[in-house]
Structure 1
Amino acid sequence: MLTPHDVRRVVDRVPARFESLDERFGRTDGDAFLERLFGDGRWLEGPAYFPAGRYLVFSDIPNDRVLRWDETTGAVGVLRQPASYINGNTVDRAGRLISCEQGNRRVTRTEPDGTITVLAERYRSKRFNSPNDVVERADGTVWFTDPSYGITTDYEGHQAEPEIDGCHVYRVDPSGEVRVAAEDFERPNGLAFSPDEQTLYIADTRLKHIRKFTVADSTNLMAGEVFATCDNGSFDGLRVDAKGRVWAAAHDGLHCFSPEGDLLGKLLVPEIVSNFTFGGPKLNHLFITATTSLYTLRVNFNGASYPK
């Protein structure tokens, strides 16, 4: 009798190459192969894993669609098209999908019945540029970045003039109030909290670095010093593992940094990586969106388990 793993569809496999640059990266590895589960995208982004349904949602921005990969069958289907050029996605603590709609220039939540709730679409009556990536904190606040990629051209959004001066990071309170969390960025992109949610890491793609902020009084960001710089392309999506190590998407794969900002090693990927997430019941199943493809790899470390 076939198990769900047996029927999982794999397009092809490539060797998984972990490159150790520091002895503290020792014994960080996983499967011998990266499995390519899908290879028909234009620019894939925003992977978000739903443990209750055992499926992964991810975006194909230029094709204006959101796709779904089913873990039990391996099937990939279209979840939403048109999709308002959705970029980043996350799953909130109630198991709902939160998405950054570059086309509609807003952040939304998909309810269990499929209806869409708008969480944020304006700041002081002005439309956002094009929300890019999003995370939720245990206190119910939603944090997102707002670069201008979706309004620069029609390739992954709708070309338009910006209404807001600059590209900022925002926080949406449970009350619905939208506040600027940080405003001194060129192109804010991926963001991730430390396991205790007292630190927020934010990538600035144009400046090719990650900044580290302290979350003060559970709401405000302090400091913001440069945490790490990219040695291959630019940083995009970010995640933190259970050890507090920061993993960052880059042009040659995933870069792993110690909590102090030292580059420990890399997982090399054959395409430019945009984003990734941890999935599976133990959060030790990496799902990686890289240019045209969705890759997966079972690893011997775990993603951070955040407070409820």
Structure 2
Amino acid sequence: MLFKSFSTLGVLLFAAAVQADDPVTPAIPGVAAGGVVIELIKDGFKGTEGPIGYSDGSLLFTETQANNIVRIGPDDKVSVFLKDSNGANGLALTPGGEIVAVQTVKTKVGIVYPANKKKILAEKFEGVEFQRPNDLVRANSGAIYFTDSGTRPTKENPNPPPSHPGVFYISPAGELKRLANDIERPNGIQLSKDESVLYVANTLGEHILAYDVAADGSIGNRRNFAKLAGWQKGEDGWSSGADGLALDDEGRLYVASNAGIEVFDAKGEALGVIPLPKKPQNLAFAGSDKKTLYVVGRGAAYKIALLAQGISGRAK
């Protein structure tokens, strides 16, 4: 079943349809051919976050609750790439092959692989430890942008400390700055292809946010970039579920949300939605030709063959 219109009703109907054994993609011009099977690689992971395309054509992602970084090979073989990751969440890859992670057991940002190059890049801001480092993106300059989503009540901890979410920047020289502290729950973060725009997913907001990036790495001109179809009211109030972000070579932005994978053009216009059997958390292009979109969420890992191609040299 395919939909030419991606109204909220259409998204919900299509989402219901793909609960079958073989969910398929809708047709999105330039992005996805209609009827392509969304392949389940494996279910039952203990946490699924932080995917990046690795240099050997495989995909790495973080199994957060198991404290592992997992590898999915080009043949779909699943193996543990790194144990004892200090609760690594979002990942980035340097040109030299080092893996940088935001980490949630002992909260910090730093290099976790290889072992002989482990390094802490940041662990406190103004003397205060981070609360929930979530995602990061590395600029070509070596600078790192990352989010801290703060605290939130859970069944296990209904009264957490006051939340102090933020967007942070580590300069190529290692200087830590806070760029924003007015986003309710900053989550996924990504740079445009030319690195002139920084995108931030606000899980509790209706829009993906965009900022202009200055020469010194600072950001300004905050604006609503794209309106999310995933915006809905749940048990805990209104949320878009906006999480991980990825870009393709044409500058289209892919957003994991309550609706599935939402796709927007470089101007923020909605192109379509790829619903999934389980709500996605994060995503990345990988493979030798970077035409495979890997999506992880709620313990499951999927892959989708697309017409679109990821950016060469980008980990996601």
**TM-score (normalised: structure 2):** 0.82
In the alignment, what sits opposite 1:16?
24
The 1:298/1:59 distance shift into structure 2, 3 A limit, reads same
- The reply to whether residue 185 of structure 1 matches residue 183 of structure 2 is yes
Q: Select the residue among 217, 221, 224 that pairs with 1:219.
A: 217
Question: SS at 2:96's partner residue?
Answer: coil
Deviates more, 1:237-246 or 1:298-307: 298-307
- The reply to whether residue 198 of structure 1 matches residue 196 of structure 2 is yes
The 2-side partners of 1:37 and 1:13 are apart by 13
Which structure 2 residues correspond to residues 23-38 of structure 1 after superposition, within 5 A? Answer: 25-30=28-33, 32-38=36-42
Q: Select the residue among 201, 207, 218 that pairs with 1:209.
A: 207
Q: Select the residue among 283, 289, 298 that pairs with 2:305.
A: 298
Question: SS at 1:214's partner residue?
Answer: strand
The 1:154/1:101 distance shift into structure 2, 3 A limit, reads farther
The 2-side partners of 1:17 and 1:75 are apart by 23
Which structure 2 residues correspond to residues 118-267 of structure 1 after superposition, within 5 A? Answer: 118-149=120-151, 161=161, 166-232=164-230, 233-267=240-274
In the alignment, what sits opposite 1:50?
54
Shift of the alpha carbon at 1:146? 0.4
Question: SS at 2:193's partner residue?
Answer: coil
User: In structure 2, what residue type is equivalent to 1:146?
Assistant: D
User: In structure 2, what residue type is equivalent to 1:230?
Assistant: L
User: In structure 2, what residue type is equivalent to 1:134?
Assistant: L
* Count of aligned pairs between the two proteins: 285
In the alignment, what sits opposite 1:41?
45
The 1:218/1:239 distance shift into structure 2, 3 A limit, reads farther
In the alignment, what sits opposite 2:289?
282
Shift of the alpha carbon at 1:219? 1.1
- The reply to whether residue 65 of structure 1 matches residue 68 of structure 2 is yes
In the alignment, what sits opposite 1:5?
none
The 2-side partners of 1:13 and 1:46 are apart by 26
User: In structure 2, what residue type is equivalent to 1:252?
Assistant: A
User: In structure 1, what residue type is equivalent to 2:70?
Assistant: L
Which consecutive residues of structure 2, in runs of 5 or more, have no partner in the other structure? Answer: 1-19, 231-239
Question: SS at 2:137's partner residue?
Answer: strand
The 1:207/1:27 distance shift into structure 2, 3 A limit, reads closer
In the alignment, what sits opposite 1:106?
108
In the alignment, what sits opposite 2:278?
271
The 1:204/1:216 distance shift into structure 2, 3 A limit, reads same
Alpha-carbon contact 2:131-2:148 (below 8 Å) kept: yes
Shift of the alpha carbon at 1:57? 1.5
The 1:60/1:153 distance shift into structure 2, 3 A limit, reads farther
* Structure (1 or 2) with the greater strand fraction: 1
The 1-side partners of 2:175 and 2:309 are apart by 34
- The one-character-per-residue Cα deviations of 1:8-43 (angstroms, maximum 9, x if unpaired) are xxxx96232225xxxxx4243147211111111243
In the alignment, what sits opposite 2:77?
75
- The one-character-per-residue Cα deviations of 1:267-286 (angstroms, maximum 9, x if unpaired) are 12111000000112322111
The 2-side partners of 1:292 and 1:201 are apart by 26
User: In structure 2, what residue type is equivalent to 1:54?
Assistant: G
Shift of the alpha carbon at 1:113? 4.3
The 1:62/1:152 distance shift into structure 2, 3 A limit, reads farther
User: In structure 2, what residue type is equivalent to 1:268?
Assistant: P
The 1:261/1:99 distance shift into structure 2, 3 A limit, reads same
